[in-house]
Amino acid sequence: MQFRNLYALLLASAVTSAAHADVINLKCVQTGADEYKLSYTLTGNTKSVAILAGTEANKVPASAPLRSTSENTITLHAGKPHERMYFYLKANTGEVREVSIRHLPLDGTPNFRDIGGYKTTDGRTVRWGLLYRSGVLTYLTPEDYKYLSALDIRVVCDFRTKEEAQAAAETWIPGSSVEQISLPIGARPQEPGKEPSVRQAFDPNATPEQLRKAMTSTYGNFAFHSAEQYATVFQQLKNDHLPLLYHCTGGKDRTGVFSAFVLLMLGVPEETVLADYALTNEYVGKNSADMKKMMAASGPSTQNSMKNLTPEQQKVMIAADPEYLKSTLRQIDEKYGSFDNYRRTALHVSDVDVAQLRERLTEQ
């Protein structure tokens, strides 16, 4: 039930601001190779919208509208198969709002997402097409490379350990000039019981509830022992090295924590951040072939640990339970007083940096 409530909150968090727009609650889902379902709410004096489509984010196309409509839900065809599309809804009042798909339809990795579109507490919106999160990239296909090449990603930050990288070596788009940065989390010995890895929670003798509590406790260590790695990614953002992709093996734990940090820094409400984290449940753990690949990519240590668990125990370890991430945020509050204090101290992101990054990564 709590996951369904979070999904509802995520969808309702809107891709736009009600304070500055007559078109709110935008959502885009790809329903076919070139078919998309758009839904939204018309408010105020808005009676209709003209819908345009293009292949570039943050750039209203000069082409004629695909459709003009007063309906709140519409299915339409745009672009070509294996092509990322962005939709622009121009209200009859003149406002223009952008929306795109969040989950990218790649064959080789099931949890590749754009974190754009979220509304911030100050009425701005995170820009589409600049920040991406994912799981392991080892199994990307030629069609995936073709799709991704159009995104013009400049930097790929990899949170996987040396063992994971050896188990599943990655190759990015052949011929691209992307900068690949290895930032292993969980690779170095830490003080006993404090290593930033969920493996320490793998106890075959524990009940599912005990495992869940262990995961909740373990998650806080990502913030305290991996701040250096996360700070490096923030430095890339400060240097305007965009678009940027960050990932681990499953795209859930290490990646989920960084996603929370960057969205909170941009002013996205915690409830929306938790809902974004829980979206991983939609894409990981439901396809047995994908799970086998992810397990193979996790390395021998994790594979052996998972084999010793029952199916019920494994579900706990695979789940993107918002309580895990919430525990991290509460532990940060307890140690630093607030996320902002942690951000300034541990992530080396000053208030001036925040202002510049919000200007760069969000829009009115």
pLDDT tens, position by position, 143-162:
999 999 999 999 999 999 99
pLDDT class of 197 with cuts at 50, 70, 90: low
**Pair (131, 23) in one structural domain:** no
> If you average pLDDT over residues 288-314, what whole number do you get?
79
Query: How far is 329 from 325, CA to CA, in rounded Å?
Result: 7
Amino acid of residue 364: Q
One domain, residues 188 and 62: no
pLDDT of 189 above 50: no
CA-based radius of gyration for the chain? 20
Residue 4 lies in a domain: no
Q: Which of residues 70, 85, 101 is at a domain's end?
A: 101
Separation of alpha carbons 247 and 156, rounded Å: 8
Hey, which of 86-100, 215-229, 310-324 has the most confident mean pLDDT?
86-100
pLDDT band with cut points at 50, 70 and 90 for residue 30:
very high
Taking residue 27's Cβ as centre, other Cβ atoms within 10 Å add up to: 18
Query: pLDDT-derived band of residue 12, with 50, 70 and 90 as boundaries?
Result: very low
Quick one: pLDDT at residue 16? Answer: 38
Q: Are residues 87 and 113 in the same domain?
A: no
Q: What is the CATH number of the domain that holds 249?
A: 3.90.190.10
Closest by CA to 55, choosing from 85, 11, 98, 93, is: 85
Tell whether 5 is covered by a domain.
Answer: no
Of 101, 123, 156, which residue constitutes the final position of a domain? Answer: 101
Mean pLDDT of 321-338: 95
CB 48 within 8 A of CB 92: yes
The H-or-E segment that residue 162 falls in is: helix 162-167
Whether 120 and 252 map to the same domain: the answer is yes
Q: Which residue in 253, 239, 276 sits closest to 160, CA to CA?
A: 253
Spatial separation of the C-alpha atoms in residues 285 and 213, rounded to whole Å: 20
How many domains are there within the chain?
2
pTM: 0.89
Q: Is residue 250 part of a domain?
A: yes
The last residue of one of the domains, among 101, 127, 151, is: 101
Same domain flag for 176 and 276: yes
Q: Which domain holds residue 162?
A: 107-363
Same domain, yes or no, for 241 and 282? yes
Tell me the C-alpha distance between 55 and 59, whole Å. Answer: 9
- pLDDT tens figures, 74-121: 999 999 999 999 999 999 999 999 999 999 999 999 999 999 999 999
What pLDDT band is residue 168 in, cutting at 50, 70 and 90? Answer: very high
Cα separation, 323 vs 209, in Å, equals 12
pLDDT, residue 200, reads: 55
The pLDDT score that the predictor gives to residue 287 is 74
